[in-house]
A and B are shown apart, each in its own frame.
Chain A
Amino acid sequence: KEGARGGVGGGNDFQWCFSQVKGAIDEDVAEADIISTVEFNYSGELLATGDKGGRVVIFQREQESKNRPHSRGEYNVYSTFQSHEPEFDYLKSLEIEEKINKIRWLPQQNAAHFLLSTNDKTIKLWKISERDKRAEGYNLKDEDGRLRDPFRITSLRVPVLMPMDLMVEASPRRIFANAHTYHINSISVNSDHETYLSADDLRINLWHLEITDRSFNIVDIKPANMEELTEVITAAECHPHQCNVFVYSSSKGTIRLCDMRAAALCDRHTKFFEEPEDPSSRSFFSEIISSISDVKFSHSGRYMMTRDYLSVKVWDLNMENRPVETYQVHEYLRSKLCSLYENDCIFDKFECCWNGSDGAIMTGSYNNFFRMFDRNSRRDITLEASRESSKPRAMLKPRKVCTGGKRKKDEISVDSLDFNKKILHTAWHPKENVIAVAATNNLYIFQDKIN
């Protein structure tokens, strides 16, 4: 039954409440402001977004204060920086967009925070650090900046560090370039904390985080003759605990799991996950809608989840022949595939994410709707990220799409869904019921309200 009580996520009954919305309210949306990726860091204290303009914005969670009991850990801007600039490849006569395709945080290693951001071609490692002291006192200048007579220096002054207002700096630490011929779709930090992988349409490379001038090609599916190309890599991720295991998904709806212990080149997979196709539902669109747009390991490392156009599937790593769970995201679109093909929506790449305990999953849909599925109770819910319900601590009302028959009150008919409002990127706080949902140029943050 579709969430009358709404409680999907934590096991206990609770309801999702509006917390914050970021970004301009204008109806005109600048292309550069469209959010292209959302990612919490390991502790959930920081939340990063990337946009089509190549910017990265980092939000930090406020400490809960006694004075404002209702502002439970709101996220405020911590740092904003331009990660990528538009470029032009003169050799190939190609424009390289600045759009941030993915952001991945590194496990924290000292007081500073580090993240990887990538556009189509170049991956960058950024350091975000705080500074609260400033050196004062020069020998050759006065306090107000006037130069002193160099011949009348009677004593040497060593600068003294004085406290100052907190300043957050983002500095590029490494640039990993020139390793991808095709567009990078995924980056994933390995659990050994020293390597990460990057995947494009046809190849996966393994990098050392400290070495920028070389990477190892571990998967290459490029056929000798490009006319024989039938399949591309759509996403790749490292296992959260086993540093030798990674998976990659393909446009044919299959997932390959590789073990880097077996050989230096992982062209041969160790496991191959594929659900046999149901011949009765075969159509012209079958192959397109089975293409996997995202793959994510559960935090436990036991399961992985894949998103295709109409559904989310959960796979047990020990069972290759079919998923253990399948959730329909917007089955009502099956009858509309033709028009979705014509307006290119069928190629939208929806992402998906787990909650901290792996008990619930979330993914996006159209009309600014997003879906959550509770794996234990099998309950699901459709929620909407909209300005209308964005009053502080307003409870989110479950939405329902009417599929034929008479439309009931509060239902919306399939035909009136807005396909330009799509939720592709969502993120779930690693420990709490806090979610971040990117709706075009707005970032919505919702939290639970325990009954």
Chain B
Amino acid sequence: MAGADGDDSLYPIAVLIDELRNEDVQLRLNSIKKLSTIALALGVERTRTELLPFLTDTIYDEDEVLLALAEQLGNFTMLVGGPEYVHCLLPPLESLATVEETVVRDKAVESLRKISHEHSPVDLEVHFEPLVKRLASGDWFTSRTSACGLFSVCYPRVSSTVKAEIRQHFRTLCSDDTPMVRRAAASKLGEFAKVLELEYVKSDIISLFTALASDEQDSVRLLAVEACVSIATLLPQEDLEALVMPTLRQAAEDKSWRVRYMVADKFSELQKAVGPEITKNDLVPAFQNLLKDCEAEVRAAAANKVKEFCENLPEDSRETIIMSHILPCVKELVSDTNQHVKSALASVIMGLSTILGKDNTIEHLLPLFLAQLKDECPEVRLNIISNLDCVNEVIGIRQLSQSLLPAIVELAEDAKWRVRLAIIEYMPLLAGQLGVEFFDEKLNSLCMAWLVDHVYAIREAATCNLMKLVEKFGAEWAQNTIVPKVLGMANDPNYLHRMTTLFCINALSEACGQDITTKQMLPVVLKMSNDQVANVRFNVAKSLQKIGPVLDSNALQTEVKPVLEKLATDQDMDVKYFAQEAISVLALA
């Protein structure tokens, strides 16, 4: 609190308060973020009577400032005097809950939900609930949308009369004139259902759910699909058929592709919520239809769920259902006209092999994998290759290797560097699964070719890839297969390739160990210190710094030190700089 005499400790607070109104948004934001400091200095009394009224009316500010304010107020209870006074925070949050910017409104609602728990049951009815009602019956839809998020937090803690009022308000908002409010209500329907007594779920929520699910606007209907999951979880199994399924069936066949997309997207959740029996009878045919939908977006969403759906099928009939109902649809999707659909399928299809077991995989899935490995779209092939591990566990990768190789080679040489980059990242994984022999025979040359790619990102990834391969196959393998090739590039006429040698050495020295590094790599690096290109020379200095810790002290003193000392007197500034840095890091001075 302020002292009676001049008190210089007040100065920083005074600045913060003044900067709440600074021209510069950044300073205002800064002040708002330190609102708790201001409140602490003012004390609870003045915070309540002066600061909060001021904040209530400052809703003209930039969104980011309002957002920060809304967030701060959620943690302000102690600063206004504890739970007893928490209701003082309601007016500023109420005004923030009516601004047009969704992020700010959502944050205000989040803070209101937070502080609602700090209200005593009495305060909840005296202060909080009236606020919810005011918002719910506000003139503008911004306030009504905010109200939708507040019902569920106060409902469990109020008297039964108030509960009835709250239910009534929610019902009104579900049939609001503006689609914005109906969407907000639809998106909170599931959450509200969870706090309601079961009898009201059946009497109130179901009718609201049915109404929203047949709203004239598809943007509302699709949100009802989400609510469907929560509602189905709440109801006893025997009521599902009568209360939820008609709506769900209708949604899965909605005229609007966006609604069907939502059903496809939420399919696993729906499947869990309705249980195995309904899944078998209803969801399987629905899922088949979604996989054959006329809109590619819907097919792609459904294709994404193939594995999860199959996994969650009841065990007793899983294989039959997959083989007779799902697999035929999947087969068609493999040759879909839309590449997003194919690539969505490719990202999950391998997962089916663990579910179906070895024989089925070989007989039914393998042809599909092979077809996808030859797909014209690189993304499809990549998705298959990136999930090889699932198949490997079931049938071993040999079955695939003959088709795999051409696919990999083609991706490795794709004209788009991002595709090349993606396949490089899978190399260590592939190497691990295919084994060292196959790798040496077929893939090693690819890995070396990437080192001289004309795109830097590829060369960089190729270096990193070599390191991972050495970690996998060991130092001896490195010595025989890749080190000679890497070192050979040190004499390449292109200085970029010479630098690649250095980058490879940086990456490999640790994995290769002291022996190889000292005997084979070090001489090459030292020799390159005479390179005519300065970039190569300073990279020599950097490399020496990097591999120094791997070398023994004898080599450091007798071989590295003289070279670095020479580079430290180089005519090029950068070379000097990095040489000196290496000397000091390696403690050779």
Contacts and interface: CB of A to CB of B under 8 A. Distances in A.
Interface stretch (B9-17, B86-94, B321-329, B377-385): B9-17
Contacts of A140: 14-15, 18
A281 interface: no
A138 B6 contact: no
Contacts of A114: 100
Contact of A129 (B8, B20, B60, B219): B60
Given A139-B14, A243-B218, A244-B218, A151 B142 contact: no
Interface string A109-122: 11110100000000
Contacts of A110: 98-100, 140, 142-143
B258 interface: yes
B294 A263 contact: yes
Contacts of B18: 138-141
Interface in A192-238: 192-194, 210
A154 B2 contact: yes
Contact of B46 (A129, A138, A158): A158
Contacts of A159: 17, 20-21, 54
Contacts of A194: 179-180, 183, 219
Interface in A230-284: 241-244, 260-264
Contact of A262 (B8, B257, B296): B257
Interface string A144-164: 000000111111111111000
A421 interface: no
A109 B57 contact: no
Contacts of B217: 191-192, 243
Interface in B302-356: none
Given A110-B140, A264-B257, A210 B6 contact: no
A139 B258 contact: no
A150 B180 CA distance: 50
A263 B54 contact: no
B294 A161 contact: no
Interface string B211-238: 0000011110000000000000000000
Contacts of B57: 133, 161
B179 to A, nearest CB: 5
Secondary structure of the A contact surface, majority rule: loop
Contacts of A158: 17, 42, 46, 50-51, 54
Contacts of B51: 158
Nearest to A210: B102
A451 B547 CA distance: 99
A161 B50 CA distance: 10
Interface string B262-281: 00000000000000000000
B58 interface: yes
A131 interface: yes
Contacts of A151: 6, 8, 11
Contacts of B556: none
Contacts of B180: 109, 193-194
A139 B219 CA distance: 51
Nearest to B17: A139
A194 B222 CA distance: 15
Interface in A367-386: none
B295 interface: yes
A343 interface: no
Nearest to A195: B219
Contacts of B159: none
A362 B15 CA distance: 60
Nearest to B62: A171
A290 B296 CA distance: 37
B100 A109 contact: yes
B386 interface: no
B178 A135 contact: no
A23 interface: no
Nearest to A127: B100
Contacts of A111: 140
Contacts of A403: none
B4 interface: yes
Contact of B178 (A193, A261, A264): A193
Given A158-B46, A158-B50, A194-B180, A109 B141 contact: yes
Contact of B13 (A156, A161, A193, A262): A156
A153 B257 contact: no
A114 B140 CA distance: 13
A363 to B, nearest CB: 31
A108 interface: yes
B99 A157 contact: no
Contacts of B41: 156
A243 B219 contact: yes
Contact of A135 (B8, B58, B141): B58
B53 to A, nearest CB: 8
A107 interface: yes
A110 B101 CA distance: 11
B437 interface: no
B297 A264 contact: yes
A199 to B, nearest CB: 21
Given A153-B11, A263-B257, A193 B179 contact: yes
Interface in B56-115: 57-58, 60, 98-100, 102
B140 A192 contact: no
Nearest to A106: B100
B100 A112 contact: yes
A157 B17 contact: yes
Contacts of B4: 154
Interface in B178-221: 178-180, 183, 216-219
Given A108-B140, A131-B60, A261-B256, A156 B179 contact: no
B182 to A, nearest CB: 10
B7 interface: yes
B21 A192 contact: no
B17 A153 contact: no
B348 to A, nearest CB: 22
A155 B13 CA distance: 10
Nearest to B102: A210
Contact of A242 (B17, B21, B216): B216
B217 to A, nearest CB: 5
A156 B294 contact: no
B416 interface: no
Contacts of A262: 255, 257, 295
A154 B140 contact: no
A243 B15 CA distance: 51
B140 A156 contact: no
Contacts of A153: 6-8, 10-11, 14
Contacts of A112: 100
A366 to B, nearest CB: 42
A131 B13 CA distance: 27
B3 interface: yes
A154 B20 CA distance: 20
B5 interface: yes
Nearest to A108: B140
B178 A154 contact: no
A25 to B, nearest CB: 38
B516 to A, nearest CB: 50
B402 to A, nearest CB: 38
A212 to B, nearest CB: 13
A141 B21 CA distance: 13
Nearest to A149: B6
27 contacts: A109-B140, A109-B142, A114-B100, A135-B54, A138-B18, A139-B17, A140-B15, A151-B8, A151-B11, A154-B2, A155-B2, A156-B17, A156-B42, A157-B17, A158-B17, A158-B42, A158-B46, A158-B50, A158-B51, A159-B17, A192-B217, A193-B178, A241-B216, A243-B179, A261-B218, A261-B255, A261-B257
Given A135-B21, A264-B295, A264-B296, 5 more contacts: A129-B60, A135-B54, A156-B41, A242-B216, A264-B297
Rank and list the top 6 A-B pairs by shortest CB-CB distance, nearest first: A139-B14, A261-B256, A158-B50, A110-B140, A152-B6, A155-B2
